[in-house]
């Protein structure tokens, strides 16, 4: 008898994301191409996962040069590397145990890196102080979020912890909440207002949830993932006041804070707004914000490092956070060192400053221009409507599909947008994410479309998508099994 025969029922009940199925299908098609199968396309292009380096965006030279020297210290003597690269690598190695990037660190991260993060947040928030003791480094922002949600999780049935969750939300979030053993309490973002957060919808969600679960936290993504919405100060203030009135813990995903490009739009952190409100709020509302190397400009998804900052959290609770992070022993050290480079980049006058600045500006310009280009294209397709993005790396267009597609999806027992994505992948080799609005009340179908990729690749994606979409909307679909 297999030792895995009796799987924990909670694990059995975790909802499976269509993302996983699409990735498996993409891998199968790629293998077929490698083995000589004839397709109408030469390679699969992924505009679903948000991995910019896989899509062809180049890494930041300064980050890779410093990490290379940290991993191979002989490069510290290589004068072909800029002086500031070698000096930074040397200083980072000095804070590692044994002078090696291969050593363990404290569970919550290297003290030096946490200090750099605190200084970054203080600069970002125009002097609102940040403290090292409130910073926790983790193996990506998702790991940090899991720790917090598990600490909040308790009870069963009507007493089970509920987390207010936007619809739409990051595609991994429903599975994370399932795994943590909490109830997803959906609140609908308002598509007609550019996917805005509305107070009356938050109130509806929390009121409806009571009696079914115990709402204890509110999750916010700003800039929105996958909607691209960026909240203004008034909206943030309303959410904070709502959280205070309903005694909700705020979980704020701010990973895409470096990628705001909408006209007259700026990123303002929840912490900055909170600290500029009345003391009754600024000293009591519990808030944790998340940031990560997976953001748009760094795009270092594979280095698996992020951080969270705890605001107004009880010291004993912070001790439990640190204890739970101990299960990872430590976040990958290369990722921690890259975090230091992200929050403390080259400064004017440093040898690497000009190259670093040019590369960052190129990534931001590419993202902004791609978002505009793809938005115009998608809105030009029949049966598709897309709200403009103000930030982040995704567009989230709605699909108005022919009745035949919807009927066939019901027969195949899949969502119609999932069927659309499967066919697009099979016929044109493009991986686009299905909307799958968990718990949402809307009947519309949606796509998740990442626009952080080289412009020429984007043009190929749009050409393939447009060709498929026009074929689909004028034909009677055939059965797929």
Tell me, yes or no, whether 222 lies in a domain.
Answer: yes
Range of the domain at 382: 9-56+361-474
User: Do 142 and 216 share a domain, yes or no?
Assistant: yes
Number of domains within the chain: 2
To 5 degrees, how large is the angle CA 112–CA 117–CA 121?
Answer: 150
User: Do 324 and 440 share a domain, yes or no?
Assistant: no
User: Do 332 and 371 share a domain, yes or no?
Assistant: no
User: Do 417 and 445 share a domain, yes or no?
Assistant: yes
Q: Of 288, 314, 343, at which residue does a domain stop? A: 343
CB 46 within 8 A of CB 394: no
- Name the packing angle between helices 111-124 and 333-343 (round to 10°): 30
User: Do 336 and 411 share a domain, yes or no?
Assistant: no
Tell me, yes or no, whether 29 lies in a domain.
Answer: yes
pLDDT for position 475: 62
pLDDT for position 213: 96
User: Do 239 and 189 share a domain, yes or no?
Assistant: yes
Half-sphere exposure of 465 (CA within 13 A, CB side): 27
User: Do 206 and 285 share a domain, yes or no?
Assistant: yes
Burial (0-12, 13-18, 19+ Cβ within 10 Å), 98: exposed
Strand 183-188 and strand 161-167: the pairing is parallel
Tell me, yes or no, whether 335 lies in a domain.
Answer: yes
Q: Of 343, 376, 403, at which residue does a domain stop? A: 343
pLDDT, one tens digit for every residue, the chain (481 residues): 444 444 444 544 445 567 788 989 999 999 999 999 999 999 999 999 889 999 899 999 999 999 999 999 999 999 999 999 999 999 999 999 999 999 999 989 999 999 999 999 999 999 999 999 999 999 989 999 999 999 999 999 899 999 999 999 999 999 999 999 999 999 999 999 999 999 999 999 999 999 899 999 999 999 999 999 999 999 999 999 999 999 999 999 999 999 999 989 999 999 999 999 999 999 999 999 999 999 889 999 999 999 999 999 999 888 888 888 878 788 999 999 999 999 999 999 999 999 999 999 999 999 999 999 999 999 999 999 999 999 999 999 999 988 888 899 999 999 999 999 999 999 999 999 998 655 444 468 999 999 999 999 999 999 999 999 999 887 644 444 3
User: Do 221 and 320 share a domain, yes or no?
Assistant: yes
User: Do 373 and 288 share a domain, yes or no?
Assistant: no
User: Do 186 and 258 share a domain, yes or no?
Assistant: yes
User: Do 441 and 313 share a domain, yes or no?
Assistant: no
- CATH code, domain with 384: 3.90.1150.10
pLDDT for position 21: 85
Tell me, yes or no, whether 64 lies in a domain.
Answer: no
pLDDT for position 211: 87
Tell me, yes or no, whether 94 lies in a domain.
Answer: no
pLDDT for position 402: 87
State the pTM of this model: 0.92
User: Do 232 and 263 share a domain, yes or no?
Assistant: yes
- CATH code, domain with 332: 3.40.640.10
Buried b (16+ CB within 10 A) or exposed e, 32-69: eeeeeeeeeeeebbbbbbbbbeebebeebebbebbbeb
* Of the candidates 283, 286, 211, the residue with the CA atom closest to the CA atom of residue 247: 286
Tell me, yes or no, whether 37 lies in a domain.
Answer: yes
Tell me, yes or no, whether 462 lies in a domain.
Answer: yes
pLDDT for position 437: 58
Tell me, yes or no, whether 266 lies in a domain.
Answer: yes
pLDDT for position 17: 67
């Amino acid at each position: 008898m297999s030792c895995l025969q009796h799987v924990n029922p909670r694990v059995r009940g975790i909802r499976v994301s269509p993302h996983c199925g699409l990735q498996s299908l993409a891998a199968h098609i790629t293998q077929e191409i490698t083995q000589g199968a004839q397709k109408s396309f030469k390679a699969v292009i992924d505009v679903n996962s948000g991995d910019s380096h896989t899509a062809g965006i180049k890494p930041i030279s300064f980050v890779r040069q410093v990490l290379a020297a940290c991993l191979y210290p002989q490069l510290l003597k290589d004068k072909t590397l800029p002086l500031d690269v070698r000096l930074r690598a040397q200083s980072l190695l000095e804070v590692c145990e044994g002078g090696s990037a291969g050593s363990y660190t404290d569970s919550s991260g290297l003290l030096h890196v946490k200090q750099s993060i605190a200084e970054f947040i203080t600069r970002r928030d125009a002097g609102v102080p940040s403290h090292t003791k409130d910073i926790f480094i983790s193996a990506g922002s998702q790991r940090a979020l899991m720790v917090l949600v598990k600490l909040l999780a308790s009870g069963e049935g009507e007493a089970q912890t509920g987390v207010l969750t936007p619809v739409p939300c990051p595609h991994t979030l429903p599975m994370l909440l399932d795994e943590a053993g909490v109830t997803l309490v959906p609140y609908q973002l308002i598509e007609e207002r550019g996917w805005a957060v509305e107070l009356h919808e938050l109130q509806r969600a929390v009121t409806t949830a009571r009696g079914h679960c115990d709402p204890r936290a509110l999750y916010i993504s700003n800039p929105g993932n996958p909607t691209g919405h960026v909240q203004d100060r008034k909206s943030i203030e309303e959410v904070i006041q709502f959280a205070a009135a309903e005694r909700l813990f705020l979980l704020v995903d701010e990973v895409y804070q470096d990628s705001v490009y909408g006209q007259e739009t700026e990123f303002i952190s929840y912490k900055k707004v909170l600290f500029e409100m009345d003391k009754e709020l600024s000293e009591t509302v519990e808030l944790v914000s998340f940031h990560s190397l997976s953001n748009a400009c760094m795009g270092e998804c594979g280095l698996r490092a992020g951080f969270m900052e705890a605001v107004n959290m009880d010291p004993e609770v912070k001790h439990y956070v640190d204890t739970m992070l101990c299960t990872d022993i430590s976040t990958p050290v290369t990722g921690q060192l890259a975090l230091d480079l992200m929050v403390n980049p080259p400064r004017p006058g440093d040898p690497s400053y000009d190259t670093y600045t040019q590369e960052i500006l190129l990534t931001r310009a590419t993202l902004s221009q791609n978002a505009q280009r793809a938005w115009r294209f998608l809105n030009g397709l029949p049966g598709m409507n897309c709200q403009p993005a103000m930030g982040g790396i995704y567009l989230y267009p709605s699909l108005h599909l022919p009745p035949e597609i919807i009927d066939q999806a019901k027969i195949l027992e899949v969502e119609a947008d999932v069927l659309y994505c499967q066919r697009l992948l099979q016929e044109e080799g493009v991986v686009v994410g299905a909307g799958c609005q968990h718990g949402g009340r809307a009947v519309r179908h949606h796509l998740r479309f990442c626009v952080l990729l080289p412009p020429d690749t984007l043009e190929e994606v749009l050409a393939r998508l447009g060709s498929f979409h026009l074929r689909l909307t004028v034909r009677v679909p055939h059965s797929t099994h």
